Amino acid sequence: MGELLAGRVVVVTGAGSGIGRSEALEIARQGAKVVVADLGVALDGSPESGSAARAVVAEIADAGGEAIACQEDVGDWDGSKRIVDSAIDAFGGLDVIVNNAGILRDKMMFNMDEDDFDAVIRVHLKGTFSLTRWASIHWRGRHKAGLANDGRIINTCSPAGLYGSAGQANYSAAKAGIAAMTIGAARELGRYGVTANAISPVARTRMTATLGRGAATTEGDGWDPRSPDNVAPLVAWLASTESADVTGQVFEVGGGSVGVAEGWRHGPTADKGARWDPVELGPTVRKLVADAYQVPVPGGGANRRN
């Protein structure tokens, strides 16, 4: 077992499969005690066997690590508290939360119903907030008691949240909200010894399989650039004490690539110094758009940031 995370207690949600599973396994491999939190539902949130978390715990135990399973609903207010409590009860504390749980209900806007929208927002956005809220109460309480924290919040965003995605208005909105929430959490919780960062991963999971990206892409040397295992090393490092000076960032990660995503920033501006007349805005707006920074879109092309 590694030493990077020795003595750390880490909660990973959505850890029964895909990226969450890879994160949990790597975090345990680096010496942390892990709460494998996964409700065990289907991709759309419907009930399944619920055994995924226990299977990952067994993998960790077989490799010499220490972990427990927690099958709570992260989108449930009290369920999120029970996830935090399970870490404290089992391991005596909590150092890191990795918010990864999510579902998909992909539809075009004109076909998406209220439940499709609400269900995705509930798991991704509310679930990320709820777990963060209960963890931050724990860390704030320690701070008020004179105890030092070296806490970490690691959230999961998506290229869909950074750049938008057709047919995923609910998912894109949730992931964009998570990116913004991460920056807010970094500003709020720094005084309590807690950092907050997010990742925007590109990897093959059951979610990407719905988009036709499920095939393995193993290269001649046996390395698979699309494997979710490639995302886990960055998450493990962000969970460590070495990352204490890194906060409020969104990292793009996949294959062998790690990058920092640059968020919204002020672009070209025209100031008339008086109220605009609508009929004179056309040429001004078109020039502003033409001069604006263009955000690359995965798969080619660009969206103008305007």
Tell me, yes or no, if 33 is annotated catalytic: no
b vs e for 141-172, b when ≥16 Cβ sit within 10 Å of the residue's Cβ? ebbeeeeebebbbbbbbbbbbbbbbebbbbbb
Tell me, yes or no, if 136 is annotated catalytic: no
Q: Which of 81, 172, 175, 243 is catalytic?
A: 175
DSSP per residue, the chain: --STTTT-EEEEETTTSHHHHHHHHHHHHTT-EEEEE---B-TTS-B----HHHHHHHHHHHTT-EEEEE---TTSHHHHHHHHHHHHHHHS---EEEE-------B-TTT--HHHHHHHHIIIIIHHHHHHHHHHHHHHHHHHTT----EEEEEE--HHHHH--TTBHHHHHHHHHHHHHHHHHHHHHGGGTEEEEEEEE----HHHHTTT--S----TTS--TT-GGGTHHHHHHHTSGGGTT--S-EEEEETTEEEEEP----------SSPPPGGGHHHHHHHHHHHSPEEE-TTS-EEE--
Q: Which of 158, 165, 172, 200 is catalytic?
A: 158
CA separation, residue 15 to residues 56, 71, 203, 288 (Å): 8, 10, 15, 44
Q: Which of 136, 171, 227, 243 is catalytic?
A: 171
Tell me, yes or no, if 107 is annotated catalytic: no
Give the amino acid at 297: V
Residues with a catalytic annotation lie at 158, 171, 175
